[in-house]
Amino acid sequence: MTEFQDIRITELASGQAESGPLMNMVLNLSADAPVNCPDAFREAWNQPAPAMRRQAVVEGSRLASTCMAYELQGQIDQLNEVISATNDACRLGSEQAELRQDGELRDLKASLRYD
């Protein structure tokens, strides 16, 4: 069984002016997000939250967040919470997929005839 490795934010890669005071902040992640995880992150990030959340998108090993420079630490704090929840969901999904594949393989082996 392949163990799921948690994704985490490692550093600020770049910040570029977007429009007005907003900047496109690009954060490096510890690894490429597994295939289904960007969707899970987006769904979790778009849920209602107690504090305002700016746009954030995961692509590969990067996370882009559009915010004001002084808001970045607050965004990172919220991003870490959502990333942690997304890690949990992706780990569970990965484990379930592996168990399903193991079961399908076991069923296939039981049904094959070689004569």
Q: How many CA atoms lie within 13 A of 35 on its CB side?
A: 3
Can you tell me the distance from the alpha carbon of 83 to that of 91, in angstroms, rounded to the nearest whole number? 12
Can you tell me the distance from the alpha carbon of 106 to that of 69, in angstroms, rounded to the nearest whole number? 53
Determine the pLDDT at residue 19.
Answer: 77
Domain edges within the chain: 9-110
Model confidence over 65-98: pLDDT tens digits?
Answer: 999 999 999 999 999 999 998 888 888 866 666 6
Radius of gyration of the chain (CA): 19
Q: Please, what's the largest Cα pairwise distance for the chain?
A: 73
β-pairing, 22-29 with 56-59?
unpaired
Determine the pLDDT at residue 51.
Answer: 81
Model confidence over 22-60: pLDDT tens digits?
Answer: 999 999 999 988 777 788 888 889 988 888 888 899 988
